[in-house]
Amino acid sequence: MNTRTIPLVAICIAIVTTFVSTARVPIAATGGFTHPGAIAEIFVALAFGPIVGMIAAGVGAAIADLISGYASFAPLTLVAHGLLGFLAGWLGWKKGQVAMFTGWIVGGLALVAVYFIGEATVYGMGDVAGAEVPINLLQVGLGIVGIGLFVWMKRSYPQIEQLAGDVSFTEEPTAEDVTFTEEPTS
């Protein structure tokens, strides 16, 4: 990660935290909540790649848990949302629309599985963990808006995918850069 990527990651964490914490819908069965965070998480993963996607989605969603009074879910959220961001970015970043949808689906299913397994085993909520599966699928389904937002943004600003990578410029010589010298004639 370079010095240009660190501020990008920080901004993406803030965006994810905002999406997760501003429109919470409580889930009575588990005491958790659902949210539109997948929109930002999928967008970030597709725009900036798997590492930025993983850090922003995992840390951003975990911070939202911490500041919203759901601190006990923060470790599970860090893993589940981080996995969504990583898989969506790894499978979909710079690889075309089919890959974007594949990354969204695979990452989303991983998030749902991590929450189900974590709630059923670590949190001892085996009897109600299944009640959250359809709600988590709906939450992840909102990620399609993130795909649409990314496609629209890429049409408007094609260089967006370069913001997280190493940018290199090659300069073509211009006429002003070329100097002519006369060779001695014999």
Delimit the domains of the chain by residue range: 5-177
Residue 40 and residue 153 in contact, taking contact as beta carbons nearer than 8 Å: no
pLDDT in tens, 75-114: 999 999 999 999 999 999 999 999 999 999 999 999 999 9
- CB under 8 Å to 33, separation ≥6 — which residues? 24, 25, 26, 27, 68, 70
**Selection from 117, 42, 148 nearest residue 87 by Cα:** 42
pLDDT in tens, 151-172: 999 999 989 988 887 544 455 6
**Selection from 100, 65, 103 nearest residue 86 by Cα:** 103
Question: How would residue 57 be classed by pLDDT, with cut points 50, 70 and 90?
Answer: very high
3-state secondary structure of 83: helix
Residue 83 and residue 121 in contact, taking contact as beta carbons nearer than 8 Å: no
Nearest 5 degrees, angle CA 70-CA 62-CA 78? 120
Residue 53 and residue 77 in contact, taking contact as beta carbons nearer than 8 Å: no
- DSSP-assigned beta bridge partners for residue 34: 25
CATH for the 5-177 domain, from 1.25.40.10, 3.30.420.40, 1.10.1760.20, 2.40.50.140: 1.10.1760.20
